[in-house]
Amino acid sequence: MNTYSVSRLALALAFGVTLSACSSTPADQQPSTQTAPGTTARPILNAEEAKNFTPAAYFQSLAPNAAAWTPSAISLPAQPDFIVGPAGTQGVTHTTIQAAVDAAIARHSNRRLYIAIMPGEYPGTVYVPAAPGALTLYGTGDKPIDVKISEAIDSEMDRNTWRRLVNPGGKYMPGKPAWYMFDSCQSKSAATVGVMCSAVFWSQNNGLQLQNLTIANNLGDSVDAGTHQAVALRSDGDQVQINKVNILGRQNTFFVTNSGVQNRLQDNRQTRTLVTNSYIEGDVDIVSGRGAVVFDNTDFRVVNSRTRKRLMSSRRLL
């Protein structure tokens, strides 16, 4: 498998998914060290122009006179509210991540709730609904790869195939918190479920925090080079933080949208996301959607084993 790495990026995306980067990788992989104004082929921003490309600028609110979002580092409690792990293990409250999420949402709490996830493989989807309070999900292993959430989902699946894969044993049922998310996809009239329903981990939770996890769409190279959108992580929430997370897939690996509970993109809502110290892998439209995202100290790896092309997510790569 051939790979092309764009490492330790500080990126900002807003409504056009535009990437800009500064790197601390080896010299042969670093961006140009030219100073402003650069060249015709590679123009460089001067200090005044660069002032517009800061986290504060991207994290402005659409509400008039509202302060910009200024996220602090994720802080974990000494004792989480829920612990996910093998049955019978001391302290474990749930054996699946979805069950812990459902229990947290069912509390209807306005305060942040914490879900600790013990090392292991967690196959299947995770849907985090909109709620009054925010959730923090974090792995307790030494490395992000120690906790892996994965499934193989293709946007080109028909509804029945998708339903059987995503909802084994009535995982999502009427009355459960995430039912509306599942139902918005299973009730689609289109022949295929599409990109909006292809995510392994899908959150509509404002203030969501993810840390020390791996989220993977395992569809990988099992399909041809045609359109096979296969989202690993989809986030529709505002003020979302992702730290030390591996996000793995091929097409549309990381999908950031401003969708509401009807699972439709909106014209009057801005979602803001901060991604730090993470790793994102894919081949086409690696990062896509509609929202403002700042990436700091994050590796992007472009793999071309399926497409045999060098394609990076964005309309422009700077």
Residues with catalytic roles: 285
* C-alpha–C-alpha distance, residues 247 and 199, integer Å: 11
CA-closest candidate to residue 18, choices 300, 271, 288, 202:
288
* C-alpha–C-alpha distance, residues 235 and 126, integer Å: 12
Q: What share of the chain is helix, strand, coil (3-state, %, to 5)?
A: 15, 30, 55
In the block, residue with structure tokens 């998310």: 181
* C-alpha–C-alpha distance, residues 193 and 150, integer Å: 18
* Torsion over CA: 178, 212, 246, 169 (sign): negative
Coil/strand/helix, residue 292: strand
The helix (H) or strand (E) run that includes residue 303 is: strand 292-303
